[in-house]
Amino acid sequence: MIHRQHTRHMLAGLGLLATTSLGTAALAQDFNAEPPNRQGQSPAFEGQTRAPVLADETQLNSETIVDGLQNPWGMALLPDGSWLVTERLGALRHVGADGTLSDPISGTPTVDTRGQGGLLDVAIADDFAETRRIWLSFAAPREEGKTATAVATGTLSTDGSALENMEIIFQQQPAWDSTLHYGSRLVFAPDGALFVTTGERSVPDARPLAQDLGTHLGKVLRLDPAGGPAADNPTIDGALPEIWSYGHRNMQGATIGPDGALWTIEHGPAGGDELNRPEAGLNYGWPLATYGTEYSGEIVGAGNTTADGTEQPLYYWDPIIAPSGLVFYDGDMFPDWQGSLLTGGLRGQALVRLELDGTSVTGEARYLQDQGRIRDVAIAPDGAIMILTDAEDGALIRVTPAQ
């Protein structure tokens, strides 16, 4: 099953291939000086945007564990310290702790790879060592060329070469003639329910459905991992039973916080990327309220930043960073980062760290601005930070403090 490696891969596995990046906020002292996309807007409360730049002079080593990944999107840590990594073109691969890269694992679902589609996130069961069970999210082809976010589950064979008994347990309704905004992060709640984030498919006629409780577009969903809605979901008049929260644009990052609550991060339009802590049954505003503008520069809807019955983001970015991947840092390697939120920046091309006081963002720093678009972020068992870079020659990179 082991793919013939480039010498680069093997050196990475031995720890001999490492590039050092100066991960200091000083490299990005001007990010708060950039003009906003939308002039004349004011945050709803102090600290909602442009938090102080953290005076963090931490220097980082970045070691490429494996490269040659085709637009990797999601990763999941296995009990033995190795990783499952998805590639958007449809491949699921195993990356050994020594940097070995498997051939594509057979049995993955059929995906639509147009636009922002493809094979997206991966998650594993808490008892994976016994059950070998995994979940995949992806852009599923549907009738008449339409697509929709879907989730499938199955088991990984004992030799790691194949997925077995794969079954689709969720399909976003309705499907749409769009290849954009699939959302698609998978996160398990402490009670075992499976959170799934979806996008509102971007195109003008689909966008308002983020407010339509009879659809799965632009929603956080809470599922039973075997399929169907999770027990004790909120009761919302007229809502599909899987819906947890609504009024979202395109959530590509999600994680469970130290408080046990779900946190999400979503792409806004030109300005207006958001950090939220979605609560059951609440409306997060899109497209009725946003701090961004259309990519053309036109206002979104009536140009409102607030709307009755909707929640404000905990934090927003204007200009955008295009966030993807989200995790709280809880390792030993970076003691000063304990409790910080880490996210990848696609447009921002950085590892972004947010310091928090409860749910308030009190500082922001950006690192690794020489690595390209960062699609996902995770924490290794020893406290190293793992990132996936989004490129046709993408990489899984291990980030540690410079000695």
Segment 157-175, tens digit of pLDDT: 999 999 999 999 999 999 9
Token code pair at residue 128: 């994976």
Q: Which of 364, 395, 381 is nearest to 56 (CA)?
A: 364
pLDDT for residue 2: 33
Q: Residue 91 domain-assigned?
A: yes
Q: Residue 25 domain-assigned?
A: yes
Q: Which of 107, 126, 105, 82 is nearest to 225 (CA)?
A: 126
Q: Residue 61 domain-assigned?
A: yes
pLDDT for residue 29: 56
Segment 263-286, tens digit of pLDDT: 999 999 999 999 999 999 999 999
In this prediction the pTM is: 0.94
CATH code, 167: 2.120.10.30
Total count of domains within the chain = 1
Place of tokens 């792409």: 267
Q: Residue 1 domain-assigned?
A: no
pLDDT for residue 22: 42
Distances (CA, A) of 346 to 94, 178, 277, 374: 24, 21, 21, 5
pLDDT for residue 39: 84
- 272: domain range? 7-401
| 272-300 CB burial, b ≥16 within 10 A, e <16 | bbbbbbbeebbbbbbbbbbbbbeeeeeeb
Which active-site residues does the annotation give? 181
Q: Which of 187, 188, 69, 189 is nearest to 118 (CA)?
A: 69
pLDDT for residue 38: 83
Q: Residue 2 domain-assigned?
A: no
Q: Over its length of 403 residues, how does the chain's per-residue pLDDT go in tens digits?
A: 333 233 343 333 333 344 444 443 334 457 888 899 888 899 999 999 999 999 888 999 999 999 999 999 999 999 999 999 999 999 999 999 899 999 999 999 999 999 999 999 999 999 999 999 999 999 999 999 999 999 999 999 999 999 999 999 999 999 999 999 999 999 999 999 999 999 999 999 999 999 999 999 999 999 999 999 999 999 999 999 999 999 999 999 999 999 999 999 999 999 999 999 999 999 999 999 999 999 999 999 999 999 999 999 999 999 999 999 999 999 999 999 999 999 999 999 999 999 999 999 999 999 999 899 999 999 999 999 999 999 999 999 999 999 7
d(CA 130, CA 17): 34
Q: Residue 62 domain-assigned?
A: yes
Q: Find out whether 239 and 245 touch, Cβ atoms under 8 Å.
A: no
